[in-house]
Amino acid sequence: MKGIPLPLLLFAIFVAVPIIEIAIFIEVGGLIGLWPTIAIVLGTALAGATLIRVQGFQTWRRAEEALRRGEPPLAEMLDGIFLLVAALLMVTPGLFTDCIGILLLIPPVRRAAGMRLAARLARSADVQFHMPGMRSGPAPDGAYRHRPGPVIEGEAEEIGPGAEESPREDSPWRQ
């Protein structure tokens, strides 16, 4: 199943969200009054900015620790992105966006959203490896050509069952 097309998503964001915000302002303002409603919006913006700063520093420290261990700080990077989104949502005047921002401040919610985003990106990613001596596929005329692009050098080590075996007879790595 494909996701929502980008034009439809942008339409929903730029039209539906303000309509939802206005409706919530009217309802909440009618229930508790104008000044308490404004105080809630300002209070959530202040609380959000404070929580973002605290959690942002914690995320930064976890990323540094992951780098020291030699691990890619993917989870920490996603946390940072979601914290930035939460900050933007909470600074934006509105109760609906404040609620979404507050939800993104909750670490389990943020991690679940990050895992879902990472899975979606992994499904849509087009990763290709091109190595010297390996062909990248036939061109329209049937000839094999390497595609232009960045060259990333690396080393590999086989681990697991059969790792000590020599390369197969037809292997390009056989010397």
Q: Domain extents for the chain?
A: 6-124
Q: What is the pLDDT of residue 25?
A: 92
Token pair of 122 as six digits? 């992994």
Q: What is the pLDDT of residue 169?
A: 65
CA-nearest of 28, 65, 174, 97 to 166 is 174
Token pair of 64 as six digits? 């540094």
Per-residue pLDDT tens for 80-97?
888 888 888 888 889 999
Q: What is the pLDDT of residue 165?
A: 59
Per-residue pLDDT tens for 33-48?
999 999 998 998 888 7
Q: What is the pLDDT of residue 130?
A: 47
Q: How far is CA 134 from CA 26, 130, 150, 175, in A?
A: 64, 7, 15, 15
Q: What is the pLDDT of residue 117?
A: 79
d(CA 28, CA 34): 9
Task: Tell me the whole-structure pTM to 2 decimals.
Answer: 0.60
Q: What is the pLDDT of residue 26?
A: 94
Q: What is the pLDDT of residue 49?
A: 80
CB 135 within 8 A of CB 144: yes
Assign 3-class secondary structure to 79-139: HHHHHHHHHHHHHCCCHHHHHHHHHHHCHHHHHHHHHHHHHHHHHHCCCCCCCCCCCCCEC
At residue 144, the 3 state secondary structure works out as: strand
Question: In Å, how far from its chain's centre is CA 70?
Answer: 21
Across the chain, which has 175 residues, the per-10-residue mean pLDDT values are 77 90 94 93 85 78 84 80 86 90 88 82 62 51 55 67 59 56
